[in-house]
Amino acid sequence: MKFIVTKELGKLARWLRLIGFDTVYFENESKGSLIIEALRDDRIIITRTREKIDDLQKKTIVVTKDAVQEQLKEVIQKSGLKVEEERMFTRCTLCNDLLVAAQKEEVKPLVPERVYNQQAVFKKCSSCSKVYWQGSHFEKVKKVMAEIRTKVYS
Ligand SMILES: [Zn+2]
Protein backbone atom coordinates (compact mmCIF):
# COMPACT_ATOMS: atom_id res chain seq x y z
CA MET A 1 0.00 0.00 0.00
CA LYS A 2 1.49 3.34 -1.09
CA PHE A 3 0.37 6.85 -0.27
CA ILE A 4 0.55 10.41 -1.46
CA VAL A 5 -0.09 12.99 1.21
CA THR A 6 -1.07 16.59 0.54
CA LYS A 7 0.80 19.65 1.76
CA GLU A 8 -1.03 20.27 5.04
CA LEU A 9 -0.27 16.78 6.35
CA GLY A 10 3.53 16.79 6.59
CA LYS A 11 3.63 15.25 10.05
CA LEU A 12 1.40 12.42 8.98
CA ALA A 13 3.66 11.76 6.00
CA ARG A 14 6.66 11.42 8.32
CA TRP A 15 4.77 8.99 10.56
CA LEU A 16 3.70 6.82 7.65
CA ARG A 17 7.32 6.60 6.56
CA LEU A 18 8.38 5.85 10.11
CA ILE A 19 6.12 2.80 10.18
CA GLY A 20 7.46 1.71 6.81
CA PHE A 21 5.02 2.90 4.16
CA ASP A 22 6.09 4.38 0.85
CA THR A 23 4.69 7.91 1.17
CA VAL A 24 5.12 10.84 -1.17
CA TYR A 25 4.71 14.24 0.45
CA PHE A 26 3.07 16.37 -2.21
CA GLU A 27 3.84 20.06 -1.70
CA ASN A 28 2.56 21.23 -5.04
CA GLU A 29 -0.90 22.87 -5.06
CA SER A 30 -1.90 21.43 -8.42
CA LYS A 31 -4.80 19.01 -8.13
CA GLY A 32 -4.08 17.72 -11.62
CA SER A 33 -0.50 16.67 -10.90
CA LEU A 34 -1.57 15.18 -7.58
CA ILE A 35 -4.03 12.88 -9.31
CA ILE A 36 -1.62 12.03 -12.12
CA GLU A 37 1.09 11.08 -9.64
CA ALA A 38 -1.35 9.03 -7.56
CA LEU A 39 -2.59 7.11 -10.57
CA ARG A 40 0.86 6.61 -12.07
CA ASP A 41 2.27 5.02 -8.90
CA ASP A 42 -1.00 3.52 -7.68
CA ARG A 43 -0.98 5.62 -4.52
CA ILE A 44 -3.85 6.33 -2.18
CA ILE A 45 -4.35 10.06 -1.76
CA ILE A 46 -4.55 11.31 1.81
CA THR A 47 -5.86 14.83 2.24
CA ARG A 48 -7.91 16.99 4.55
CA THR A 49 -10.47 18.28 2.14
CA ARG A 50 -12.63 16.34 -0.23
CA GLU A 51 -13.02 19.35 -2.59
CA LYS A 52 -9.43 18.99 -3.68
CA ILE A 53 -10.13 15.68 -5.29
CA ASP A 54 -12.22 14.76 -8.25
CA ASP A 55 -15.24 12.60 -7.43
CA LEU A 56 -14.00 10.01 -9.87
CA GLN A 57 -10.90 9.52 -7.80
CA LYS A 58 -11.95 6.75 -5.46
CA LYS A 59 -8.66 6.07 -3.81
CA THR A 60 -8.79 8.97 -1.41
CA ILE A 61 -8.75 9.10 2.35
CA VAL A 62 -9.96 12.31 3.95
CA VAL A 63 -8.63 12.83 7.45
CA THR A 64 -10.68 14.98 9.77
CA LYS A 65 -8.66 14.99 13.00
CA ASP A 66 -5.96 17.49 13.97
CA ALA A 67 -3.60 15.40 16.10
CA VAL A 68 -1.23 13.29 14.06
CA GLN A 69 -1.84 10.15 16.09
CA GLU A 70 -5.57 10.48 15.54
CA GLN A 71 -4.93 11.02 11.84
CA LEU A 72 -2.87 7.84 11.72
CA LYS A 73 -5.72 5.98 13.37
CA GLU A 74 -8.10 7.30 10.72
CA VAL A 75 -5.79 6.21 7.92
CA ILE A 76 -5.42 2.73 9.41
CA GLN A 77 -9.18 2.41 9.82
CA LYS A 78 -10.04 3.68 6.38
CA SER A 79 -7.32 1.89 4.43
CA GLY A 80 -7.11 -1.31 6.43
CA LEU A 81 -3.33 -1.09 6.36
CA LYS A 82 -1.44 -3.43 8.62
CA VAL A 83 1.08 -1.99 11.03
CA GLU A 84 3.91 -4.45 11.44
CA GLU A 85 6.87 -4.03 13.69
CA GLU A 86 9.23 -5.46 11.06
CA ARG A 87 8.32 -2.63 8.72
CA MET A 88 9.07 0.13 11.19
CA PHE A 89 12.30 2.06 10.65
CA THR A 90 12.89 0.74 7.15
CA ARG A 91 12.35 4.07 5.39
CA CYS A 92 13.86 7.54 5.72
CA THR A 93 11.41 9.98 7.32
CA LEU A 94 12.92 12.86 5.35
CA CYS A 95 13.04 11.54 1.81
CA ASN A 96 11.05 8.29 1.78
CA ASP A 97 13.95 6.20 0.52
CA LEU A 98 14.82 2.82 1.95
CA LEU A 99 17.34 2.48 4.74
CA VAL A 100 20.38 0.27 4.32
CA ALA A 101 22.62 -1.30 6.94
CA ALA A 102 25.53 0.89 8.01
CA GLN A 103 28.80 -0.11 9.61
CA LYS A 104 29.31 1.15 13.13
CA GLU A 105 32.68 2.67 12.25
CA GLU A 106 31.24 4.48 9.28
CA VAL A 107 28.60 6.34 11.33
CA LYS A 108 30.98 7.32 14.14
CA PRO A 109 31.46 10.91 12.97
CA LEU A 110 27.75 11.29 12.31
CA VAL A 111 26.15 10.33 15.62
CA PRO A 112 26.54 11.59 19.21
CA GLU A 113 29.23 9.75 21.17
CA ARG A 114 26.71 8.41 23.69
CA VAL A 115 24.65 6.85 20.89
CA TYR A 116 27.74 5.40 19.28
CA ASN A 117 28.73 3.74 22.53
CA GLN A 118 25.29 2.40 23.37
CA GLN A 119 24.00 1.19 20.04
CA ALA A 120 25.20 -1.73 17.96
CA VAL A 121 22.96 -1.57 14.92
CA PHE A 122 22.81 1.42 12.60
CA LYS A 123 21.05 2.10 9.34
CA LYS A 124 21.36 4.95 6.93
CA CYS A 125 19.25 6.40 4.17
CA SER A 126 20.35 5.27 0.73
CA SER A 127 19.62 8.73 -0.57
CA CYS A 128 20.38 11.46 2.01
CA SER A 129 22.66 9.38 4.30
CA LYS A 130 20.74 10.30 7.47
CA VAL A 131 21.68 7.80 10.17
CA TYR A 132 19.07 5.84 12.15
CA TRP A 133 19.31 3.61 15.19
CA GLN A 134 16.85 1.87 17.45
CA GLY A 135 17.06 4.13 20.46
CA SER A 136 14.39 5.33 22.86
CA HIS A 137 12.55 6.87 19.91
CA PHE A 138 12.02 3.40 18.48
CA GLU A 139 10.44 2.21 21.73
CA LYS A 140 8.21 5.27 21.80
CA VAL A 141 6.98 4.72 18.26
CA LYS A 142 6.26 1.05 18.98
CA LYS A 143 4.27 2.06 22.05
CA VAL A 144 2.26 4.71 20.18
CA MET A 145 1.48 2.27 17.39
CA ALA A 146 0.43 -0.42 19.86
CA GLU A 147 -1.99 2.05 21.43
CA ILE A 148 -3.39 3.03 18.04
CA ARG A 149 -3.86 -0.61 17.09
CA THR A 150 -5.70 -1.31 20.32
CA LYS A 151 -8.07 1.58 19.62
CA VAL A 152 -8.62 0.62 15.99
CA TYR A 153 -9.36 -3.03 16.61
CA SER A 154 -11.37 -2.77 19.81
ZN1 LIG B 1 16.84 10.24 3.45
In angstroms, what is the span from residue 16 Cα to ligand 1's centroid?
A: 14
pLDDT confidence tier of residue 151, bands split at 50, 70 and 90: confident
Contact partners, residue 101, CB within 8 Å, separation at least 6:
121, 122, 123
Residue 56 has pLDDT above 60, yes or no: no
Cα separation of 110 and 133, whole Å?
12
Task: With CA atoms as reference, report the closest residue to 107 among 116, 99, 98.
Answer: 116
Cα separation of 79 and 140, whole Å?
24
147 vs 154 pLDDT, higher one: 147
pLDDT digits (tens, 9 = 90+) for 97-124: 999 999 999 999 999 999 999 999 999 9
Cα separation of 2 and 39, whole Å?
11
In angstroms, what is the span from residue 123 Cα to ligand 1's centroid?
A: 11
Residue 25 has pLDDT above 90, yes or no: yes
Whether the model pTM is above 0.85: yes
In angstroms, what is the span from residue 131 Cα to ligand 1's centroid?
A: 9
pLDDT confidence tier of residue 138, bands split at 50, 70 and 90: confident
Q: What is the pLDDT of residue 102?
A: 95
In angstroms, what is the span from residue 127 Cα to ligand 1's centroid?
A: 5
In angstroms, what is the span from residue 144 Cα to ligand 1's centroid?
A: 23
Mean pLDDT of the chain: 90
The strand pairing partners of 82, in sequence order, are none
Cα separation of 77 and 66, whole Å?
16
In angstroms, what is the span from residue 91 Cα to ligand 1's centroid?
A: 8
In angstroms, what is the span from residue 98 Cα to ligand 1's centroid?
A: 8
pLDDT confidence tier of residue 57, bands split at 50, 70 and 90: low
In angstroms, what is the span from residue 51 Cα to ligand 1's centroid?
A: 32
Residue type, 123: K
Specify the DSSP class assigned to residue 87: G
Kindly report which listed range (2-6, 32-36, 53-57, 75-79) carries the lowest average pLDDT score.
Answer: 53-57
